[in-house]
């Protein structure tokens, strides 16, 4: 069985070992050593990277028998002496994230009764899934702040982090946050006086080395509450990015970061007003153009004028335009708005004195073309290819521009 050196010293970055065996499979060379400081993927913490002699570490994992394997980009020989060198920035980042996970989980348990059931450390953000009382999947901003304050207060006090393998008698006496998931070789991690739980990961020796923990968000995930967070340099980088973006936006708007939210809210209101006015002008222009074309529009046998046009705008514009147009007697309005990619939305409407079922007309025109639509006798809506408009006028037996 491989001796796992990181259990005794998470800060060990170089070590000597002997290759016990090396096999090739799936395009990589998998080596087993008599001792290793490389952490294998487990408990939500990713594997360490680095070098074994001149071979790059591509993966580190544990097989069903509990043996640690190192996936390499070149082979090693059984019996060969190797020098291992760990990618320290990656290792230390994972140590910070994992310790941050413990401290958030502890605060959630003590303050809100949440039980952490899973950790995932990705390249940019770490997440923990939490089973909350009564199945709650979100918490208030005030509770998030309480958890953050609790964690960072302990980080600033630089409380100690201790990792050890207690014997069975001691293990039974320990105030663990939750029961261990294994029954043998149980490793305990304690952070200060408030957090103690079974864990096989790597952690800094004191909480102060985490630097900072920031919760980025809380959201439902598979019936649980998922907490996203960053710790250490990740938290600094997140703050730096937010600082740069906030000050950049404030400079563009000639305001301060303190007034940025209020300034953006005012701009949104102004934009809504401008959009409303623009839509009103577009509608007025569209209706005027359509009304001017009624006298020259082709007519049905019953004398109704058929106004069939594709307009620039959206579904709301053609709906409003049709509603205004059919206030006149003797009008059939077949209007479409181009959505791009050969698709369009349509409104078919008629004046009250015209006896044509608009819903049936739209459905009859749309169905052969793969479109959809229907509605009342006097007003119908649908969508399909732009050719749907011509299909409708063909059904009515008229020709339009």
CATH class of 92-241: alpha beta
Location of structure tokens 């006298």: 295
- Indicate the helix (H) or strand (E) that contains 397: none
| C-alpha pair distances (Å), 94 with each of 66, 103, 232, 325, 371 | 22, 14, 10, 66, 53
Q: Are 204 and 10 in contact (CB under 8 A)?
A: yes
pLDDT of 141 reads: 96
Average pLDDT over residues 365-384: 92
Strand order in the sheet with 126-131: 115-121, 126-131, 224-231, 213-221
Average pLDDT over residues 92-97: 98
Residues 6+ apart with CB under 8 A from 87: 48, 49, 50
Nearest to 297 by CA among 336, 321, 327, 330: 330
CATH architecture of 285-396: Roll (3.10)
For residue 86, pLDDT beyond 80: yes
pLDDT of 160 reads: 97
pLDDT classification of 400: cutoffs 50, 70, 90: low
Q: Are 80 and 97 in contact (CB under 8 A)?
A: no
For residues 330 and 348, what is the distance between their CA atoms, to the nearest angstrom?
Answer: 14
Across the chain, mean pLDDT equals 93
Domain boundaries of the chain, sorted by first residue: 3-86, 92-241, 285-396
For residues 14 and 56, what is the distance between their CA atoms, to the nearest angstrom?
Answer: 14
Pairing state of beta strands 81-86 and 35-36? unpaired
* % of the chain surpassing 70 pLDDT: 100
pLDDT per position as a tens digit, 221-254: 999 999 999 999 999 999 999 999 999 999 999 9
For residue 353, pLDDT beyond 70: yes
Average pLDDT over residues 167-172: 94
For residues 373 and 391, what is the distance between their CA atoms, to the nearest angstrom?
Answer: 13
For residue 200, pLDDT beyond 90: yes
pLDDT per position as a tens digit, 272-295: 999 888 877 887 887 888 888 788
- In terms of Cβ atoms closer than 10 Å to its own Cβ (0-12, 13-18, 19+), residue 304 is buried
For residues 52 and 74, what is the distance between their CA atoms, to the nearest angstrom?
Answer: 10
- C-alpha angle with apex 93: 239 to 81, nearest 5 degrees? 160
Q: Could you tell me the sign of the dihedral formed by the alpha carbons of 345, 392, 366, 376, in that order?
A: positive
For residue 65, pLDDT beyond 80: yes
For residue 69, pLDDT beyond 70: yes
In this structure, what token pair is assigned to residue 332?
């059939």
pLDDT of 311 reads: 85
* % of the chain surpassing 90 pLDDT: 79
pLDDT of 401 reads: 59
CATH class of 3-86: mainly beta
For residues 260 and 392, what is the distance between their CA atoms, to the nearest angstrom?
Answer: 52
Q: DSSP alpha helices (H): ranges in 66-197?
A: 88-112, 141-156, 168-173
For residues 335 and 393, what is the distance between their CA atoms, to the nearest angstrom?
Answer: 11
Residues 6+ apart with CB under 8 A from 144: 215, 218
Q: Could you tell me the sign of the dihedral formed by the alpha carbons of 161, 167, 172, 173, in that order?
A: negative
pLDDT of 155 reads: 97
For residue 299, pLDDT beyond 80: yes
Q: What is the CA radius of gyration of the chain?
A: 34
């Amino acid at each position: 069985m491989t001796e796992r050196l990181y259990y005794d010293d998470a800060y060990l970055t170089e070590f000597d070992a002997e290759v016990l065996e090396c096999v090739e499979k799936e395009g990589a060379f998998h080596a087993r050593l008599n001792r290793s400081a490389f952490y294998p993927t487990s408990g939500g913490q990713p594997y360490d990277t680095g070098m074994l002699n001149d071979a790059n570490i591509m993966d580190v994992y544990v097989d069903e028998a509990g043996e640690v394997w190192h996936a390499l980009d070149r082979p090693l020989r059984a019996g060969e002496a190797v020098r291992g060198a760990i990618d320290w920035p990656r290792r230390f980042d994972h140590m910070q994230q994992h310790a941050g996970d413990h401290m958030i989980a502890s605060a959630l348990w003590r303050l809100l009764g949440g039980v952490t059931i899973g950790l995932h450390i990705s390249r940019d953000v770490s997440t923990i899934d939490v089973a909350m009382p009564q199945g709650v999947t979100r918490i208030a901003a005030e509770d998030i702040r309480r958890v953050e304050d609790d964690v960072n207060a302990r980080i600033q006090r630089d409380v100690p982090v201790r990792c050890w393998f207690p014997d069975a008698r001691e293990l039974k006496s320990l105030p663990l946050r939750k029961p261990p998931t294994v029954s043998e070789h149980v490793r305990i991690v304690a952070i200060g006086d408030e957090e103690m739980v079974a864990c096989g990961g790597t952690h800094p020796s004191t909480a102060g080395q985490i630097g900072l923990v920031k919760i980025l968000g809380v959201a439902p995930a598979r019936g649980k509450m998922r907490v996203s967070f960053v710790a250490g340099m990740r938290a600094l980088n997140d703050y730096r990015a937010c600082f740069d973006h906030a000050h950049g936006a404030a400079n563009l708007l000639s305001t301060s970061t303190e007034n940025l939210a209020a300034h953006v809210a005012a701009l949104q209101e102004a934009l809504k007003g401008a959009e409303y006015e623009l839509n009103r002008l577009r509608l007025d222009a569209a209706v005027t153009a359509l009304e001017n074309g009624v006298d020259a529009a082709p007519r049905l046998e019953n004398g109704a004028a058929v106004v069939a046009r594709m307009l620039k705008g959206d579904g709301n514009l053609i709906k409003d335009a049709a509603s205004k147009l059919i206030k006149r007697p003797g009008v059939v309005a077949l209007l479409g708005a181009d959505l791009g990619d050969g698709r369009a939305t349509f409104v078919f409407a008629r004046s009250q004195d015209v006896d044509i079922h608009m819903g049936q007309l739209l459905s009859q025109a749309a169905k052969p073309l793969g479109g959809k639509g229907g509605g009342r006798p006097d007003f119908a809506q649908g969508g399909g290819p732009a050719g749907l408009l011509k299909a409708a006028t063909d059904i009515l037996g008229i020709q339009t521009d």
